[in-house]
Every structure is written in C-alpha cells, then in structure tokens.
Amino acid sequence: MNDTPRGNLTIRTLAMPADSNPSGDIFGGWVLSQMDIAAGICAVERARCRTVTVALDSMSFILPVKIGDVLCVYTELIGVGNTSIDIHVEAWSQRGRTGNEKKVTEAKFKFVALDDDGRPTPVPK
C-alpha cells in the first residue's frame, strides 16, 4: 500500500467524542463529511463559483479512526469537464505523538459548478 498521501493537505481536524459511536469508533459518515468539505474547497478554488457535490465513487474504510486522532484530508484535482470537476480525495489518520499517518479511505468526488440561479455553468478554462 502507498504510504505517502496523494494531493494537497486541505483539512486537518480532530476526531471528537461527538463524532463517535458508544464504543469510541468514529462514524464513517463523519470522515466522509470531512472529505466532502475538503473536496468542496478544492472545487471552489478551481471553479471560482458556487459548486455542489453531484457524485462520488464507491468507498471502503481500510482502518478505523479513533477519538483523538487527527484526520488529514488531501485533495488533488484530476479532471475538468464542461461544468464538472473531478477530485481525488484521501483521508489519513494521525494517532498518538509519533506523527505517523495511515490511510483510512479514498474516493473520487465530482462537483458541478453552478451559477447564481443554481444551474450548471461552465468551469473557466
């Protein structure tokens, strides 16, 4: 497995008790949410307008995230269509004081650029 994150560090955040189930395992949906936020930042930087998530490919979680882990989300722009933008997103977890990061999951997100009326609009060249 690749041990180096792919893309730019876009979000670092702490996994808190409110993000976990009663056993202390962080909800996958919380991780997915952070990935969506990071991809949204990347999409807006490219489109320079309002964007929405339209699709993402299948995901599986390789390792658990625990309370107190630092979740690091990396994004890489991998394609631009007419109104859409594809972004590769990886979530890595830092546990303890070693600073070592381990990959938790990855996915490809697709965002669509919207005009002020919420209609798809071309992504600038």
Ligand X SMILES: CC(C)(COP(=O)(O)OP(=O)(O)OC[C@H]1O[C@@H](n2cnc3c(N)ncnc32)[C@H](O)[C@@H]1OP(=O)(O)O)[C@@H](O)C(=O)NCCC(=O)NCCS
Whether the CA torsion 11, 28, 104, 96 is positive or negative: it is positive
Binding status of residue 110 toward ligand X by CB under 6 A: yes
Binding status of residue 82 toward ligand X by CB under 6 A: yes
Q: Which stretch binds ligand X (CB under 6 A): 20-28, 46-54, 59-67, 90-98?
A: 46-54
- Name the residue nearer to ligand X (CB basis): 3 or 116: 116
- Name the residue nearer to ligand X (CB basis): 13 or 53: 53
Provide the CB-side half-sphere exposure for 57 (13 A, CA): 9
Amino acid letter, 82: N
Cα distances from 24 to residues 34, 46, 66, 67, in angstroms, run: 18, 37, 6, 6
Binding status of residue 121 toward ligand X by CB under 6 A: no
Q: Residue 87's Cα: distance from chain center in Å?
A: 9
Give the contact letters, 62-81, x = binds to ligand X (CB under 6 A), - = no: -------------------x
Give residues in contact with ligand X (CB under 6 A). 52-55, 81-84, 110, 112, 120
